[in-house]
Amino acid sequence: MMATFFGEVLSVYSRAVDDDEEDQDNTNEEDEQIRKEIEEKREVHIEWGPEVTKAIEYTGSQTLQCSDFILAVGHNAAGLLSAYVLNSASWDAVGHVSLWNERSRGSCRHSSAPLPGEPACVFYRHRDNSSVLICQSACYIAEDQLFQWTEKVFSCLQPRGLSVMVLSDSPVAEYKTPDYLDASPVPFLRSLKTSTYKSQTLCPALEQPNIVTGLPAAVLNHCQVHQIPTVMYQCYSDVIAPDSVTMGTYKSALSSLSKLVKLNSCPSTDVLRKLAKASETQSNLYT
């Protein structure tokens, strides 16, 4: 608005102001579109095989009947299952989780199974006891994807009668103790459990102020809230790569499931060789 010399008040069109508002609106729309595309790209997807899909659809609750769910997070935890458990013909891959982030770019395809050697989360089920489910998580899951992963996986499992065991790798450099001389020989296990887990743990509890992070923490938190009996065994090791000694540390944790999960007395040398080779490739400075 402006006034003339004769006292009239005239409406003045300010093109600069309108152009600024239009540019701001366009910028907001572009930002919103980019944000939406990023969220869609970082979405977590679960793909089940035909048998599991049929079993889930058959139940009225649209969930899979499962008595024991074993989650292995990290190269040594996952390597133990590959070398001592899954190398037998009794286990079938029945599904996988696909996701994309800055460190897991190879697992963005959710329409097909991951390629051999590709970082992924793969589910296995025992042929003779379909109520036992194993998941190997060998890919990095970003912080903004942890809640998605946990909610989507557990929404497929019947919570009634379910028990969960988490095996997790952790560098010993992150372990805190008031007296270094009293620390256990490396590698060693520490445990955490939910309030509904009543069985005796097979190693000392994780001392304060040590904390659990990543997928193991997300699973423990979910199971605590939903009152699912869960125990986590975290192995502290001074090696990053898959190591037979570190893998063997988890064997005592699986002893409580000996009736459901049988450990091979002689691990697969082929599997151990592949794990070592993959580790050498990943640690190469020039690859």
Domains (range + CATH), the chain: 42-277 (3.40.50.10900)
Q: pLDDT truncated to tens, each residue of the chain (287 aa)?
A: 555 545 555 555 555 555 566 666 667 777 788 788 777 888 898 999 998 998 888 877 789 989 999 999 999 999 889 888 888 778 999 999 988 888 876 544 555 566 655 567 999 998 888 889 999 998 889 999 999 999 999 999 999 999 999 999 999 999 988 776 556 788 999 999 999 999 999 999 999 999 999 999 999 999 999 999 999 999 999 987 888 889 989 988 888 787 788 887 666 666 666 666 655 544 444 44
Helix, strand, or coil (residue 34): helix
DSSP code, position 130: T
Alpha carbons 89 and 127: distance in angstroms, whole number:
9
Helix, strand, or coil (residue 260): coil
Alpha carbons 279 and 275: distance in angstroms, whole number:
6
Query: In the structure encoding, which two tokens stand for residue 283, read together?
Result: 């640690």
DSSP code, position 64: B
Residue 92 β-bridge partners:
125
Alpha carbons 118 and 126: distance in angstroms, whole number:
23
Beta-carbon contacts of 254 under 8 Å, excluding residues fewer than 6 positions away, are 70, 80, 85, 165, 261, 263
Is 127 in contact with 90 (CB distance < 8 Å)? yes
pTM over 0.85: no
DSSP code, position 60: T
Task: Identify the CA nearest to 132 among candidates 99, 178, 91.
Answer: 91
Strands across the sheet with 230-237, in order? 45-48, 91-98, 121-126, 132-137, 68-73, 163-171, 230-237, 188-193
Helix, strand, or coil (residue 197): coil
